[in-house]
């Protein structure tokens, strides 16, 4: 049986310090995140002080039946020179390279990812507001949820999927690669022009994705150079004997919630089918790196891609085959691996989107990023009779991703939402109830002063006289409200919690 | 899986619906065009004023 797909999303945001002369992105990112954290300190209401640093220490896996056990811990090394905070919703918010990055808490289904991705956006919006309050008059820190500066520099939006360690990685690679290439049809955030060397705006006036220009290898460990379509980073952040975390770097940052839902939902189902050996046929493309660009550059969505050993297939045909197989998988095995109800909604929307892409993609202007972006930019282009390489269209492309509510183009396009902003506001400080993020978030809400460090798979407590105590959390599906909710409520102090966990 | 031809499923639906849809489609088309016009009027006020400078100044370091 396929494992429950515990999911996560990491987003690096573009950042500008406007009207500040030379802008230093690392400093601006620190100012941005610190402003948010400080505002939580001051408010002193909903979210207590998430002043807890991130813990980079590796540890040996240690489990008990609840997945929570105690080790007398070694002193953690805490990274202090760059901001690196853990929030009470279980997320990590930090400076990565020269970008603010937010990693969602672990989520147990694709709709929960949409909720926490929206919460992440709201956290960034609030961070901008707070940061700008502290800046000299006229200056402003602005973040963009996109993946490129249009000059050849790219930053990532990564997805994470918990997988069964026993599934051979070679099978994962061969069976998921065609999905990564063909899912671009609905996950793309759209881009005016191309950043690939030698591509003119006549050749590529507009393409489906932000990221296709930047992939140069099929499989590999890199994320910053020679980016591979399938990334091999093997860092489970969980019991490494049982689990693998598939770290997916080949997606775009989506503003459309439907696109995020489909991106994570379809990929999670495909990975369940890989684990259950349910994909009877795998397409082997003759040249995946070439194919990923061919799909992204082809607005007709009809371009045939060469198969290894002869013949061709289109991205839509590949997607229909994955969909058909997923529909049958759902009938045979159910979709508990991503939640039955949510899984059925993924299938329904998947079919709807493929049908519309096949007949008239413009029907999806209220659902998919690339279509919404294309419609407004092309409409502007036609009205003003502009060429595709006009700077006004490039500016609109960037402004589509502007996170300021007053400037965001995306928010003016009437794109369908799947979660309420009110719920997302709650999710800015409340963890999901159904993964170990619950334990992390609730402990931070209650005992932030006693927690010296945290990371995905452990937390370190300082309860006074005793040595620091590390609580390993090697099971991502444990530490949920169902497992530890009443325990956390009953404990008055963190010392009591540690005592009861240890007994 | 190879034999499952996806073309059979969506295609008949489309051919049956096509004649009925045509008139309403052009109406919908008109409506969509009007909506787009309104939208373009609306966003004129929020667009970056100096597009060229803005695009030039949008420089990021690579990440990940």
**HEC assignment per residue over A173-200:** HHHHHHHHHHCHHHHCCCEECCCCCCCC
Which chain A residues are within 8 Å of B64, Cβ to Cβ?
Answer: 12, 96-97, 154-156, 158, 223-224, 227, 249
Could you state, in order of their start, the residue ranges of all structural domains in chain A? 7-426, 433-502
How close is the nearest chain B Cα to the Cα of A422, in Å?
A: 26
Closest CA to A285 of A243, A329, A318, A250: A318
Q: Rounded to an integer, what distance in angstroms lies between the CA atom of residue A142 and that of residue A124? A: 9
Helices (H), A360-480: 369-384, 391-400, 421-427, 437-447
Distance CA A149, CA A156 (A): 12
Please answer yes or no on whether B62 and A153 come within 8 Å at the CB atom.
Answer: yes
B→A contacts (Cβ < 8 Å), by residue, are 1-2, 4, 6, 9-10, 13-14, 32, 36-37, 39-40, 42-43, 46-48, 51-52, 54-55, 57-64
The answer to whether A393 and B55 are in contact (CB under 8 A) is no
User: How much is the ipTM here?
Assistant: 0.89
The reply to whether residue B1 touches residue A320, judged by beta carbons under 8 angstroms, is no
pLDDT value at residue A212? 97
Is B46 in a helix, a strand, or coil?
coil
pLDDT at B40: 95
Q: Which residue of A151, A223, A390 is in closest CB contact with B59?
A: A151
User: What pTM did the predictor assign?
Assistant: 0.91
Residue A477 three-state SS: coil
Question: Which residues does chain A have with pLDDT short of 50?
Answer: 44-50, 59-80
Q: With cut-offs at 50, 70 and 90, classify the pLDDT of residue B4.
A: very low
- Main-chain phi, psi angles of A176, to 5 degrees: -95, -25
Distance CA A456, CA A51 (A): 16
Whole-number pLDDT of residue A225: 83
Tokens of A122: 């709201």
Tokens representing A57 are: 């220490």
CA distance B20 to chain A (A): 15
Q: Which of A12, A148, A395 sits opposite B48 (nearest CB)?
A: A395
Task: Please check the confidence at residue B11 and state whether its pLDDT lies above 60.
Answer: no
Find chain B residues with C-beta within 8 A of A12's C-beta.
63-64
pLDDT of residue A139: 95
Tell me which chain A residues have a C-beta less than 8 angstroms from the C-beta of B58: 14, 16, 144, 149-150, 398
Terminal CA-CA length for chain A: 33
Q: How would you label A41-56 residue by residue, b for 16+ Cβ within 10 Å and e otherwise?
A: eeeeeebbbbebbbbe
For residue A70, give every residue at least 6 positions away whose Cβ sits within 8 Å of its Cβ, in sequence order, or none: A469, A470, A471, A498, A501, A502
pLDDT confidence of residue A122 = 98
Contact B58 A150 (CB under 8 A): yes
Take residue A343 and report the two structure tokens written for it. 């899984």
Sign for the pseudo-dihedral over CA of A338, A344, A346, A350 = positive
Catalytic residue positions of A, numbered: 96
C-alpha distance from B43 to closest chain A C-alpha (Å): 7
Dihedral sign computed on CA atoms, order A223, A226, A229, A230: negative
How long is chain A?
A: 503
Cβ–Cβ gap B60/A224 under 8 Å = no
CA–CA gap between residue A306 and residue A310 (Å, rounded): 7
DSSP assignment, residue A125?
A: H
Question: What is the distance between the alpha carbons of residues A498 and A33, in angstroms, rounded to a whole number?
Answer: 31
* DSSP E strand stretches across A45-167: 53-54, 71-72, 84-86, 92-96, 99-103, 140-144, 157-164
Place of tokens 């390993």: A472
Q: Which residue's structure tokens are 């489906």?
A: A208
Residues of B in contact with A407 (CB under 8 A): 46
Q: Is B25 helix (H, G, I), strand (E, B) or coil?
A: helix
Backbone phi, psi, residue A7, to 5°: -125, 155
Q: Which CATH topology does A7-426 take? A: Creatine Kinase; Chain A, domain 2 (3.30.590)
Q: Do A150 and B55 touch (CB under 8 A)?
A: yes
Question: Which candidate from B2, B6, B36 shows the least CB-CB separation from A375?
Answer: B36
> Residue A377: its pLDDT value, please?
98
- C-beta atoms of B47 and A317 within 8 A: no
Angle at CA of residue A275, ends A351 and A347, nearest 5°: 15
- How far apart CA A95 and CA A102 sit, in angstroms, is 9
Helix spans in A101-168 (H):
110-134
């Amino acid at each position: 049986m396929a494992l429950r797909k515990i999911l996560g999303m990491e987003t690096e945001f573009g950042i500008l310090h406007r009207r500040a002369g030379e802008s230093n992105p690392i400093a601006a990112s620190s100012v941005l995140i610190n402003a948010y954290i400080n505002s939580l300190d001051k408010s002193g209401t909903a979210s207590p002080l998430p002043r807890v640093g991130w813990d980079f220490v590796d540890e040996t896996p240690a489990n008990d039946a609840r997945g929570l056990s105690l080790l007398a811990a070694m002193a953690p090394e805490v990274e202090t020179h760059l901001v690196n905070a853990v929030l009470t919703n279980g997320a990590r918010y930090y400076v990565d390279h020269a970008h603010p990055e937010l990693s969602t808490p672990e989520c147990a289904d694709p709709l929960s990812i949409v909720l926490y991705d929206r919460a992440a956006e709201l956290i960034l919006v609030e961070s901008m507001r707070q940061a700008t309050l502290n800046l000299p008059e006229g200056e402003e820190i602005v973040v963009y949820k996109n993946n490129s500066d249009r000059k050849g520099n790219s930053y990532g939006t990564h997805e994470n999927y918990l997988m069964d360690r026993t599934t051979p990685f070679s099978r994962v690679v061969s069976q998921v690669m065609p999905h990564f290439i063909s899912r671009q049809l609905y996950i793309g955030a759209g881009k005016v022009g191309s950043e690939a060397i030698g591509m003119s705006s006549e050749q590529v006036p507009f393409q489906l994705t932000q990221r296709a220009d930047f992939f140069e290898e099929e499989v590999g460990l890199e994320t910053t150079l020679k980016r591979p379509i399938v990334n091999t980073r093997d860092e489970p952040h969980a019991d490494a004997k049982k689990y693998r975390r598939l770290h997916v770097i080949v997606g775009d940052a989506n503003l459309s919630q439907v696109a995020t839902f489909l991106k994570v939902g379809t990929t999670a189902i495909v990975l369940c089918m890989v684990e259950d050996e349910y994909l009877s046929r795998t397409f082997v493309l003759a040249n995946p790196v070439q194919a990923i660009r061919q799909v992204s550059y082809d607005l007709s969505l009809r371009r045939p891609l060469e198969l290894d050993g002869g013949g061709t297939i289109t991205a839509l045909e590949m997607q229909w085959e994955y969909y058909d197989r997923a529909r049958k998988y759902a009938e045979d095995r159910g979709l508990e691996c991503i939640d039955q109800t949510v899984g059925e909604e993924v299938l329904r929307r998947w079919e709807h989107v493929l049908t519309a892409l096949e007949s008239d993609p413009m029907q999806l202007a209220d659902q998919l990023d690339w279509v919404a972006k294309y419609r407004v930019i092309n409409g502007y282009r036609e009205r003003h009779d502009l060429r595709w390489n006009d700077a006004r269209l490039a500016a609109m492309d960037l402004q589509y991703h502007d996170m300021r509510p007053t400037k965001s183009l995306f928010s003016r396009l009437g794109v369908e939402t799947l979660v309420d902003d009110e719920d997302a506001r709650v999710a800015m400080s409340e963890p999901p109830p159904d993964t170990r993020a619950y334990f992390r978030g609730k402990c931070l809400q209650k005992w932030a002063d006693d927690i010296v460090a945290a990371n995905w798979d452990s937390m370190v407590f300082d309860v006074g006289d005793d040595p620091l105590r590390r609580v390993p959390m090697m099971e991502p599906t444990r530490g949920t409200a169902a497992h530890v909710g009443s325990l956390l409520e009953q404990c008055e102090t963190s010392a009591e919690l540690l005592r009861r966990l240890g007994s | 899986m190879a034999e499952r031809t996806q073309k059979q499923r969506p295609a008949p639906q489309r051919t049956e619906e096509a004649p009925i849809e045509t008139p309403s489609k052009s109406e919908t088309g008109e409506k969509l065009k009007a909506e787009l016009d309104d939208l373009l009027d609306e966003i004129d006020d929020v667009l970056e004023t100096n597009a060229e400078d803005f695009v030039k100044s949008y420089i990021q370091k690579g990440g990940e």
